[in-house]
Amino acid sequence: MRQFRPISVLASLVLVFAMSVAGRAQTAAIPSSSFAATDIAPDFSTVRAVAHLSPDSALATYERGMQEQASELAGYTATSVIDAELPQSSQKAEFELKRHYAAPSVLEFTPVRSTGDKFVKSNVIVRLLQSEVDHVQKREQSQTAINSANYKFSYKGTSQLDGTAVHVFDVKPRQKRVGLFKGKIYVDASSGHLLRAQGTIVKSPSFFIKKIDFVQDYATIAGFTFPTHMHSESETRLVGKAVVDITHRDYQPELAGGGDSPLSATLLDGSN
């Protein structure tokens, strides 16, 4: 079984807490995640059916898949759409871009289109992309991966997410480090695939950011698991709340042995 080490893309204003080497994929439409300011827990109903995997087996399968995919996935291409909003000032912007990742330290962005407020594009979207590039280029993925080296897992029970039986685990970082979060993960009870991670970043990346809450959903394509949608809400000291939604689609995984890639990173500018 191959399961990719997932990465999240909330950076700079919303922080990259990259959960591993970079990846995002989408096989079907996945409902957008949202949460209230005081409670980000989704609505789960109790599952009465017996899970295919025990909680320990599901978690072990997930972690084993992370390790296997690290050696099997050489990279990917995908399309990402980033929507950012500053509700206090009613400023909004959107960026669509093509991305290419090549393990272990190449991340390239090619802009497709952009609309909306120039301040939001330059100071929110482009900065979070720059943070993601820096994170990958510095090969810091292992420091923020969701695994036993970085987190303590506490089993909370079996529930249901969009009709799928899941094991729910509380996660608590072993260190208070930038990029780590406190919250929950939801693991498919049958396959051991990660379906959702959510919580609060435990250490702000900047004095100007007071708090970051997020929900991120995942899907599996060609045996690899990738993030599909991220919703985050950040409380800042200068512009109030910042809301960012990132959707990923059209993944094309690249297997190991498919060719060499240069060790470089490319970033787009913030202009139309």
Q: Which residues contact 187 (CB under 8 A, 6 or more apart)?
A: 58, 59, 62, 166, 167, 169, 193, 194, 195
Residue 14 lies in a domain: no
Residue 160 lies in a domain: yes
pTM above 0.85, yes or no: no
Using the predicted structure, report yes or no on whether residue 66 has a pLDDT greater than 60: yes
Q: What is the pLDDT of residue 268?
A: 52
Number of independent structural domains in the chain: 1
Question: Which DSSP string do the residues of 14-35 spell out, in sequence order?
Answer: S-----SS-----SS--PPP--
Mean pLDDT of 154-168: 96
Residue 159 backbone dihedrals phi, psi, to 5 degrees: -135, -160
Strand 73-86 and strand 241-255: the pairing is antiparallel
Using the predicted structure, report yes or no on whether residue 263 has a pLDDT greater than 80: no
Q: How confident is the model at residue 258 (pLDDT cuts 50, 70, 90)?
A: low
Question: Using an 8 Å Cβ cutoff, are 177 and 204 in contact?
Answer: no
Q: How confident is the model at residue 155 (pLDDT cuts 50, 70, 90)?
A: very high
Q: Which residues pair with 227 in a beta bridge?
A: 218
Extract the tokens encoding 22.
């970079």
Question: Using an 8 Å Cβ cutoff, are 53 and 192 in contact?
Answer: yes
Extract the tokens encoding 173.
């970082």
Residue 211 lies in a domain: yes
Residue 36 lies in a domain: no
Nearest 5°: the CA angle 247, 195, 80 is: 15
Q: How confident is the model at residue 96 (pLDDT cuts 50, 70, 90)?
A: very high
> C-alpha distances in angstroms, 189 versus 7, 35, 47, 57?
21, 24, 11, 9
Sign of CA dihedral 24, 27, 30, 32: positive
Strands (E), the chain: 73-86, 91-102, 106-116, 151-161, 164-173, 181-188, 194-201, 209-221, 224-236, 241-255, 265-266
Using the predicted structure, report yes or no on whether residue 52 has a pLDDT greater than 90: no
Residue 27 lies in a domain: no
Mean pLDDT of 45-58: 71
Looking up residue 69, the CATH number of its domain turns out to be 2.50.20
Residue 192 amino acid letter? G
Residue 103 lies in a domain: yes
Using the predicted structure, report yes or no on whether residue 10 has a pLDDT greater than 50: no
Question: Using an 8 Å Cβ cutoff, are 187 and 165 in contact?
Answer: no
Average pLDDT of the residues of the chain: 80
Residue 256 lies in a domain: yes
Residue 135 lies in a domain: yes
Q: What is the pLDDT of residue 29?
A: 31
Domain that holds residue 262: 55-266
Which of 3 and 121 is assigned the larger pLDDT?
Answer: 121
